């Protein structure tokens, strides 16, 4: 495969010819326009070289990336391995593996429910893609120890839920928690352990309900689980994906939920950059105020309120300077502040995202 990738390392001649023709045409234009178009054309050529490499005898993304980096200068090669990996997701694989078809794959998955100690549930429904849920009894036992109402406050962990991308032909949604009985020697922090996993092909709320119902039923078999006893103490954490939050609250009725601090900060940065167009200096000042709130001591009401007040004042100053008063204030007051207040209210346990 490395050889196949190397065969496509140099920029295809046709794309290079097109680039030269367009560059000559744009020479008569202003220098600013020429620079922009040149940059766009280079990006197109790089992506074409990436696709050519990936299509060459099904070369692996890693081989294509390394070959392109070796054969081209910094202006004519991919930015990072992820850029090549994302392109690989858009290229058809050419069908199922040799000797297997879709029916064989389905039978293998169904058989794994009985033959594997990890695969616990497979959901098949008319007109829907299959959903596979996998976990071990040890994972459920750990979750009942560290995420239930019987756990001591200082030994309790948030149960995080997040969907991952680019791991294969399907999405992978994982649960994670901190194992409070173990401490890392180098950081003195409790390590994050993997919990139940779902393999799925869409991000609909009904799909997440299958996952959460399976986890709920498995936890129900563990003694003193908070949801079963009606004493809701388990705290779930996730990003702002609506389907996840909706399904979670419908299956675990009355459950407490916190939003991932890292995702909150990333979403604020994206809004300030792409939607509001806030200058860099003012944007970083506002992000610093958001981080002060997300890292505030949740057990100190006064400290949290002071940080929230400071955030609002910083928002007003930033919005006035950027002439985005209404838009920025509406975003902070209607979307950001409610999430931060929610996290402050329920974050008396260790949050795994910090």
Per residue of the chain (354 residues), give pLDDT as tens: 444 444 444 445 555 555 555 555 555 555 555 555 566 666 666 677 767 766 665 677 777 777 777 776 666 667 677 777 777 777 665 544 555 566 677 788 888 888 888 999 999 888 888 899 999 999 999 988 888 766 777 778 889 999 987 777 789 999 999 998 899 989 889 999 999 999 999 999 999 999 999 998 888 765 444 444 444 457 888 988 899 999 998 998 878 888 888 889 999 999 988 888 888 888 899 999 998 888 887 777 788 888 888 888 888 888 877 777 788 888 988 999 999 888 887 764 444 444
Work out the number of other CB atoms within 10 angstroms of the CB of residue 60. Answer: 17
Residue 290 covered by a domain: yes
Residue 353 covered by a domain: no
User: How many alpha carbons fall within 13 Å on the CB side of residue 30?
Assistant: 3
Residue 354 covered by a domain: no
CB-based contact 45:19 (threshold 8 Å): yes
In three-state form (DSSP H/G/I as H, E/B as E, the rest C), the secondary structure along 60-115 is CHHHHHHHHHHHCCHHHCCCCHHHHHHHHCCCCCCCCCCCCCHHHHHHHHHHHHHH
Tokens of 101: 């078809």
Per-residue model confidence (pLDDT) at position 174: 93
Are residue 157 and residue 253 in the same domain, yes or no?
yes
Q: Distance between CA atoms of 180 and 345, rounded to whole angstroms?
A: 22
Residue 220 covered by a domain: yes
Residue 150 covered by a domain: yes
Q: Distance between CA atoms of 272 and 281, rounded to whole angstroms?
A: 11
Name the domain boundary from 218, 241, 259: 259
Unique residue bearing structure tokens 């090669």: 77
Residue 309 covered by a domain: yes
Name the domain boundary from 259, 276, 306: 259
Are residue 175 and residue 281 in the same domain, yes or no?
no
List, in order, residues 6 or more apart from 284 with CB less than 8 Å away. Answer: none
Buried b (16+ CB within 10 A) or exposed e, 224-260: ebbbeeeeebbbbbbbebebbbebbeebbeebbbbbb
Per-residue model confidence (pLDDT) at position 8: 45
Where does the chain have alpha helices with state H?
Answer: 2-6, 13-26, 31-55, 61-71, 81-88, 102-115, 137-146, 205-220, 226-229, 242-251, 261-270, 280-294, 301-322, 325-331, 337-346
- Domain with 170, as residue range(s), is 102-259
Are residue 165 and residue 153 in the same domain, yes or no?
yes
Are residue 196 and residue 108 in the same domain, yes or no?
yes
CB-based contact 192:176 (threshold 8 Å): yes
The total of structural domains in the chain comes to 3
DSSP state, residue 117:
S
List, in order, residues 6 or more apart from 157 with CB less than 8 Å away. Answer: 146, 147, 151, 177, 178, 179, 180, 190, 349, 350, 352
Are residue 110 and residue 182 in the same domain, yes or no?
yes
Are residue 278 and residue 333 in the same domain, yes or no?
yes
Per-residue model confidence (pLDDT) at position 107: 82
DSSP state, residue 232:
-
List, in order, residues 6 or more apart from 8 with CB less than 8 Å away. Answer: 49, 52, 53, 55, 56, 59, 64, 67
Are residue 182 and residue 308 in the same domain, yes or no?
no
Unique residue bearing structure tokens 């006035």: 320
Name the domain boundary from 33, 66, 88: 88
Residue 77 covered by a domain: yes
CB-based contact 129:202 (threshold 8 Å): yes
Are residue 253 and residue 282 in the same domain, yes or no?
no
Are residue 332 and residue 250 in the same domain, yes or no?
no
Residue 94 covered by a domain: no
Are residue 239 and residue 113 in the same domain, yes or no?
yes
Per-residue model confidence (pLDDT) at position 114: 86
Q: How many residues does the chain have?
A: 354
Are residue 232 and residue 331 in the same domain, yes or no?
no
Are residue 219 and residue 322 in the same domain, yes or no?
no
Per-residue model confidence (pLDDT) at position 100: 59
């Amino acid at each position: 495969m490395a050889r196949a990738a190397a065969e496509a390392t140099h920029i295809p001649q046709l794309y290079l010819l097109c680039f030269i023709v367009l560059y000559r045409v744009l020479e008569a234009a202003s220098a600013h326009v020429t620079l922009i178009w040149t940059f766009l054309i280079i990006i197109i050529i790089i992506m074409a070289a990436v696709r050519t490499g990936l299509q060459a005898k099904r070369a692996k993304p890693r081989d294509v990336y390394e070959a392109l980096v070796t054969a081209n200068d910094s202006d004519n090669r991919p930015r990072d391995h992820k850029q090549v990996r994302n392109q690989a997701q858009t290229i058809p694989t050419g069908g199922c593996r040799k000797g297997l078809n879709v029916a064989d794959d389905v039978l293998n998955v169904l058989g794994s429910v009985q033959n594997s100690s990890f695969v616990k549930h497979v959901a098949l429904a008319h007109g829907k893609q299959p959903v596979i849920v996998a976990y071990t009894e040890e994972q459920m036992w750990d979750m009942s120890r560290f995420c239930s109402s019987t756990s001591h406050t200082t030994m309790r962990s948030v149960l995080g839920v997040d969907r991952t991308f680019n791991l294969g032909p399907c999405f992978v949604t994982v649960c994670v928690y901190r194992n409070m009985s173990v401490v890392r020697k180098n950081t003195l922090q409790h390590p994050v352990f993997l919990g139940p996993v779902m393999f799925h092909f869409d991000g609909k709320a009904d799909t997440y309900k299958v996952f959460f119902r399976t986890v709920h039923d498995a936890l129900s078999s563990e003694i003193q689980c908070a949801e079963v006893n009606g004493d809701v103490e388990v705290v779930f954490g996730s990003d702002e994906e609506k389907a996840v939050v909706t399904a979670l609250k419908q299956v675990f009725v009355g459950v407490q939920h916190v939003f991932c601090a890292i995702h909150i900060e990333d979403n604020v940065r994206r809004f300030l950059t792409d939607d509001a167009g806030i200058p860099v200096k003012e944007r970083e000042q506002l992000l610093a105020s958001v981080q002060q709130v997300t890292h505030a001591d949740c057990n100190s009401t006064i400290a949290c309120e002071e940080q929230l007040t400071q955030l609002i004042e910083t928002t007003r100053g930033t919005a006035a300077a950027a002439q985005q008063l209404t838009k920025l204030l509406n975003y902070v007051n209607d979307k950001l502040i409610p999430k931060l207040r929610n996290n402050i209210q329920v974050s008396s346990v260790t949050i795994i995202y910090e």
